[in-house]
């Protein structure tokens, strides 16, 4: 047999073996397909419809016109109205809105002064117009903050009687939690979510598969251990590993990159443990589906890609289309990112982000039941 014939035989064998491995063959098709759809359709840095609130002290025609003009840009979507600055600030801390527009009581006087300066009369030549309002912005997300800052000089010709207002900021912008707009402040807490997603799911996705490949599965069957007890026993050791990773990332992030830690340590640990439990549970589900460790790693990559791209780690959640947001809401990483950035950067508590915390708890409970049932079916 010639060299070419031997190589052809081995090649045919590999194709035949690949065709029988349906999961691997599916990953060959699905991974590039999903990346194409994510980058081409879901990823969008032109952020629109940012959830925002308004605090209108003026309550005049001018203030309502300004609010309507801002809403017409589709940059923000006003979803809340506040009766005090304190309530607005608390809403930003809780993550309910990303920005709040504050319109002062003397809005009409400020508008009249701006129009007077626009006339360029000699008497008003040295007058400095005041901003018509102020944006209170969650600066922890630099892309969202930059988008809001783009509204500083938006024209309001409908309120200036046809004459352009002077070249001065229409709105002032107050950036909370990251006034210097340093990228590391936003990246480091998000990096904690991504690293935990990768390591926790990868560790446990091979747990049951490894037992099967080593021939230990029969031993586990004969032991007086229930399926749920086995699932819990598999994930508990990795909780400590996850907490060590949390300490390394946030500790070095604070010391090396000067990332502020505004929340209580107990709240950070609690939030991290909720996410670790959810991620380990997801890994267990993969472990009960995969037949080999290679399949487990392929499925882990399948989960990791949307977790990085859709969770809000790299691109703002608000910039994604509705369908992509629905997918993101199913991922535990999306909810943990909201929690950890809220606790670490904004000083929020678990109670302030309880909806996301409850999702992680529910995901863990349901995931453990699914993993235990699927493992029980394999025992049968």
- Pairing type for strands 99-103 and 50-56 reads parallel
Same domain? For 277 and 367 the reply is: yes
Look at residue 259 and tell me if it is in a domain: yes
Half-sphere exposure of 137 (CA within 13 A, CB side): 28
**What tokens does 112 get?**
């009249």
Kindly state whether residue 19 falls inside one of the protein's structural domains.
no
Domain holding 118: CATH number?
Answer: 3.40.1710
- Considering the domain architecture, whether residues 82 and 221 belong to the same structural domain is answered as no
Question: Residue 272 — very low, low, confident or very high, per pLDDT cuts 50/70/90?
Answer: very high
Structure confidence by residue, pLDDT tens digits, 229-250: 766 777 788 888 999 999 999 9
Domain end, chosen from 142, 176, 210, is at 176
Q: Which one of 157, 176, 195 terminates a domain?
A: 176
268 plus 356 within the same structural domain? yes
Residue 346 domain flag: yes
Yes or no: say if 302 and 280 are a contact pair by the CB < 8 Å rule: no
Go through 52-66 and write b for each residue having 16 or more CB atoms within 10 A of its CB, e for each that does not: bbbbbbbeeebbeeb
> 146: which 2 tokens?
């930059």
Same domain, residue pair 141 and 196:
no
| Cα→Cα distances 49→63, 97, 126, 305, 322, Å | 20, 11, 38, 25, 11
Find the mean pLDDT for residues 273-300.
86
Answer yes or no: do 194 and 164 share one domain. Answer: no
CB neighbours of 301 closer than 8 A, spacing ≥ 6?
Answer: 27, 31
142 inside domain: yes
CA separation, residue 338 to residues 52, 172, 201, 289 (Å): 16, 26, 20, 29
Answer for the pair 153, 172: CB distance below 8 angstroms, yes or no.
Answer: no
Confidence of residue 298 (pLDDT cuts 50, 70, 90): confident
In this structure, the answer to whether residues 257 and 274 fall within a common structural domain is yes
176 φ/ψ angles, rounded to the nearest 5 degrees:
-90, 150
For residue 6, being part of any structural domain is answered with no
Q: Which domain holds residue 71?
A: 50-176
CA of residue 347 relative to chain centroid, distance: 17
Which tokens hold the place of 205? 């996705």
Number of residues that make up the chain: 380
* Residue 85 and residue 196 in one domain: no
Co-location of 363 and 281 in the same domain:
yes
Are 229 and 351 members of one domain?
A: yes
Which residues lie across from 175 on neighbouring strands? 137
Report the alpha-carbon distance of residue 92 to residue 170 in Å, rounded: 22
Q: Is residue 24 part of a domain?
A: no
Q: What is the pLDDT of residues 11-23, one digit of tens each?
A: 777 677 666 766 6
State the pTM of this model: 0.82
Identify which has the larger pLDDT, 118 or 306.
306
- Among 131, 155, 176, give the residue marking a domain's end: 176
**344-359 pLDDT, tens digit each:** 999 999 999 999 999 9
Asked if residue 143 is part of any domain, the answer here is yes
Residue 125 shares a structural domain with residue 193: no
* pLDDT value of residue 1: 63
**What one-character-per-residue DSSP string does 179-201 give?**
TT--HHHHHHHHHHHHHHHHHHH
Domain count along the chain: 2
Phi, psi of 346 (to 5 degrees): -100, -5
Same domain, 227 and 140: no
- Residue 101 β-bridge partners: 54, 135
Kindly state whether residue 35 falls inside one of the protein's structural domains: no
In this structure, the answer to whether residues 134 and 282 fall within a common structural domain is: no
pLDDT, mean over the chain: 83
| Most confident of the following: 21-30, 34-43, 197-206, 258-267 | 258-267
Question: pLDDT band at residue 380, thresholds of 50, 70 and 90?
Answer: very low
């Amino acid at each position: 047999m010639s060299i070419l014939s031997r190589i052809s035989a081995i090649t045919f064998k590999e194709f035949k073996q690949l065709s029988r491995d349906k999961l691997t063959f599916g990953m060959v098709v699905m991974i590039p397909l999903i990346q194409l759809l994510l980058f081409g359709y879901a990823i969008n840095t032109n952020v629109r419809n940012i959830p925002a609130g308004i605090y209108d002290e003026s309550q005049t025609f001018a203030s309502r016109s300004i609010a309507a003009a801002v809403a017409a840009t589709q940059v923000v979507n006003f979803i809340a109205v506040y009766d005090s600055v304190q309530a607005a600030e608390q809403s930003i801390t809780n993550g309910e809105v990303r920005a709040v527009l504050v319109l002062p009581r003397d809005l009409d006087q400020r508008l009249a002064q701006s129009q007077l300066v626009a006339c360029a009369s000699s008497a008003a030549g040295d007058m400095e117009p005041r901003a018509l309002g102020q944006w209170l912005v969650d600066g922890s997300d630099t892309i969202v903050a930059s988008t809001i800052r783009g509204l500083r000089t938006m024209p309001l010709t409908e309120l200036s009687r046809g004459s352009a207002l002077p070249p001065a900021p229409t709105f002032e912008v107050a950036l909370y939690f990251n006034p210097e707009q340093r990228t590391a402040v936003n990246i480091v807490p998000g990096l904690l979510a991504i690293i935990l997603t990768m390591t926790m799911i990868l560790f446990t996705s091979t747990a049951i598969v490894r037992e099967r490949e080593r021939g230990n599965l029969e031993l586990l069957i004969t032991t007086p251990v229930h399926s749920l007890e086995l699932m819990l026993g598999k994930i508990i050791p990795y909780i400590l590993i996850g907490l060590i990773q949390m300490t390394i990332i946030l500790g070095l992030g604070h010391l090396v990159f000067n990332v502020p830690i505004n929340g209580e340590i107990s709240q950070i640990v609690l939030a991290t443990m909720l996410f670790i439990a959810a991620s380990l549970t997801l890994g267990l589900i993969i472990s009960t589906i995969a037949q080999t460790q290679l399949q487990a790693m392929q499925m882990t990559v399948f989960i990791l890609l949307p977790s990085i791209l859709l969770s809000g780690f790299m691109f703002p959640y608000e910039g994604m289309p509705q369908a992509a947001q629905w997918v993101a809401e199913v991922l535990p990483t999306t909810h943990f990112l909201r929690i950890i950035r809220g606790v670490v950067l904004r000083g929020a508590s678990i109670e302030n982000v309880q909806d996301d915390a409850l999702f992680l708890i529910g995901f863990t409970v349901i995931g453990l039941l699914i993993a235990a049932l699927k493992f029980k079916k394999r025992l049968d």
